[in-house]
Amino acid sequence: MNWDTVIGLEVHVQLNTKTKLFSHAETSFGAGANSHTTALDQGHPGTLPVLNREALRKAIQAGLALHCTINEYSRFDRKNYFYPDLPKAYQISQYHHPICSKGWLEISVNDPKRGEYARKIHLTRIHLEEDAGKLVHGQGGAVAESYVDLNRAGTPLIEIVSEPELTSALEAVAYLQKLRSILLYLGVSDCNMEEGSLRCDANISLKPEGSSALGNRTEIKNMNTFKGLLAAVEYEVRRQQRVLEGGGKVETETLLFDPVERKTRSMRSKEDAHDYRYFPEPDLPPVLVGKDQVDAIAAALPELPDAKRDRYQKDFGLSLYDADVLVSEKPMASYFEAAVAAFPAEPKKICNWITTEIAGTLNEGNRSIETFPVKPEALGELVRLVSEGAITGKIAKELFAEMIATGKRPADLVKEKGIQVISDDGALRAICERLIRENPDPVAKYRGGNKNALGFFVGAVMKETKGQANPKSVNQILAELLK
């Protein structure tokens, strides 16, 4: 039997506000244990939460960017459960009335089996909630020790819940990547996955191909790498398939993925909403958001990746693929735009430099484009020099390596090194004539119909001139002399 894979993602995103969702404690990562806590974050009775206006604004920004309905009325609920990193024994979340409902985003997928395609994935909701603290497990001596660090407790989160519409591990990864890209464009989170600012739970089920009823699902908790998500979903799909084909039933449960063993294991049986005894948070009033407030936030949204991609195709004549690559990371798009501003005539050439030479160099050194030593204006200048015929493409590549090493501007390097393109026909012609005299064999081949022999002479001229000959002139002169 063939099976359809069904995946829904729940993504937790830490908002990058200065202070916590309900207290004035700072929200920085990596500070001394419990140094960023107030009595409220420590769960002392009698303390009162106050909603952080900035967190609400960022949640609304995310909702607008993801085409959600922003609810005029939303409310906080208590989600009750016990865990040592949650001293209050409840989390303040939004269950019955989230700040955002519905919504969608578009993913583009490159699947070796299905080809390249784009599709819309719908969201169920986005709600605001507080993060829990962290348990730190000590190495201990004879007795295992665990410590509680409440620095993270109360950090504002949005949880973005998708409909069960994703149909493969690759689509799940594309969804998470697109979500991350949009949130980074908005600047509402640093989306640092290693530090846990963006983490994802994957709900997975299988159903007989074409059937409309959803199968029993399992939920894999807390993945924070794209690779981990891909491997976990692929593993879990195969596991469920084996269970179903063996005549078994998929148990509804919560799983953890072990990235080293590369398999999932059971964490607990799945709890239902009624297990949490949700009830309206009595210490916080409902949240009322006016239409003019939402309109003002909408008007101030930055240009988002999809809009930028469309604009790059229209304004710069880039292909969908090129535009998609450039806009996937906001700093790369900004770099491209600054380089094009420095030399507007050849955006496609600038794009090529960025997506090949620069992306390659960055990958090798695991560096970011924001600290790349070649500034966008310098790249624009380099492309201009080639385009004006002042240097050849070959020399441009050599200069580029030096620009990376020294941070110097290409025009300065050209002056410093006395680089000149030899376009002087007389000088080039003399070299060509001599090379033709000295190499009768390739001449005979060329004249016998092997036009590739021309390449031998072009290469020889370039070698003699240290790559400084104007390739167009060389080709012309050679073709004429060899005729």
By the criterion CB under 6 A, which residues form the site for ligand ADP? 6-10, 161-164, 203-205, 214-215, 217, 219
CB of 123 to Mg ion, least distance (A): 14
d(CA 182, CA 186): 6
Cβ-proximal residue to ligand ADP, closest one:
8
- The entry of Mg ion, ligand ADP, none near residue 77 (CB within 5 to 8 angstroms by kind) is none
Closer to ligand ADP by CB, 182 or 399: give it. 182
Of 162 and 189, CB closest to ligand ADP: 162
* Angle, vertex CA 136, rays to CA 135 and CA 138, nearest 5: 140
Q: Which is nearer to ligand ADP, 10 or 26 (CB)?
A: 10
- Beta-carbon contacts of 410 under 8 Å, excluding residues fewer than 6 positions away, are 378, 381, 382, 385, 391, 396, 399, 400, 403
CB of 236 to ligand ADP, least distance (A): 11
Return d(Cα 228, Cα 199) in angstroms, integer.
11
Beta bridge partners of 107: 119
Which residue type occupies 96? H
Tokens coding 372 = 């790349």
- Tell me the two tokens of residue 446: 């060329």
Q: Residue 4 binds which one of ligand ADP, Mg ion, none, with CB within 5 to 8 A depending on kind?
A: none
Helix (H, G, I), strand (E, B) or coil at 299: helix
Of 215 and 305, which CB lies nearer to ligand ADP in the complex structure? 215
Residue closer to ligand ADP, measured from CB, 5 or 52: 5
Ranked by CB distance to Mg ion, the top (closest) residue is: 10
Q: Give every CB contact of residue 483 below 8 A, 6+ residues apart in sequence.
A: none
Binding partner of 163, given Mg ion, ligand ADP, none, CB within 5-8 angstroms per partner class? ligand ADP
Nearer to Mg ion, 142 or 273 (CB): 273
Residue 243's binding partner out of ligand ADP, Mg ion, none, with CB under 5 to 8 Å set by partner kind: none
What is the nearest approach in angstroms of ligand ADP to the Cβ of residue 161?
A: 5
d(CA 64, CA 251): 37
Euclidean distance between CA atoms 370 and 292, whole angstroms: 36
Nearer to ligand ADP, 161 or 298 (CB): 161
Minimum CB–partner distance for residue 215 and ligand ADP (Å): 6
Q: Are residues 61 and 182 in contact, defined by beta-carbon separation less than 8 angstroms?
A: no
Q: Nearest CA to 355 among 381, 323, 310?
A: 323
List residues bridging with 4 in a β-sheet. Answer: 207
Among residues 214, 212, 194, the alpha carbon closest in space to that of 204 is found at 214
Question: In the complex with ligand ADP, which residue's Cβ is closer, 92 or 339?
Answer: 92
Secondary structure of residue 257 in the 3-state scheme: strand
What are the residues whose beta carbons fall under 8 Å from the beta carbon of 5, sequence distance 6 or more?
A: 167, 168, 169, 204, 205, 206, 237
Q: For binding to Mg ion (CB under 5 A), which residues are involved?
A: 10
Give the integer Cα–Cα distance in Å for 337 and 327.
10
Instruction: Please say which residue, 254 or 355, places its beta carbon nearer to Mg ion.
Output: 254
Instruction: CB nearer to ligand ADP: give 149 or 219.
Output: 219
Q: Which amino acid, residue 358?
A: I
Question: Smallest distance from the beta carbon of 283 to ligand ADP, in angstroms?
Answer: 23
Can you tell me the distance from the alpha carbon of 108 to that of 171, in angstroms, rounded to the nearest whole number? 8
The set of residues, in sequence order, having a beta carbon less than 8 Å from that of 3 and lying 6+ positions away, is: 206, 207, 208, 209, 241, 244
Q: Shortest gap between Cβ of 320 and Mg ion (angstroms)?
A: 35
Closer CB to ligand ADP, 199 or 217, in the complex: 217
Residue 187, both tokens: 């600047």
Backbone angles phi, psi at 203, to 5 degrees: -100, 130
Q: What does 103 bind: ligand ADP, Mg ion, none (CB cut-off 5 to 8 Å by kind)?
A: none
Are the CB atoms for 172 and 149 separated by under 8 Å? no
- The nearest distance, CB 217 to ligand ADP, in angstroms, is 4
Minimum CB distance to ligand ADP, residue 211 (Å)? 12
Q: Give me the least distance between CB of 257 and Mg ion, in Å please.
A: 15
Element (H, E) at 387: helix 376-387
Q: What is the closest distance, in whole angstroms, from the C-beta atom of residue 69 to ligand ADP in the complex?
A: 17
For the bound state, the minimum distance from the C-beta of residue 10 to Mg ion, rounded and expressed in Å, comes to: 5
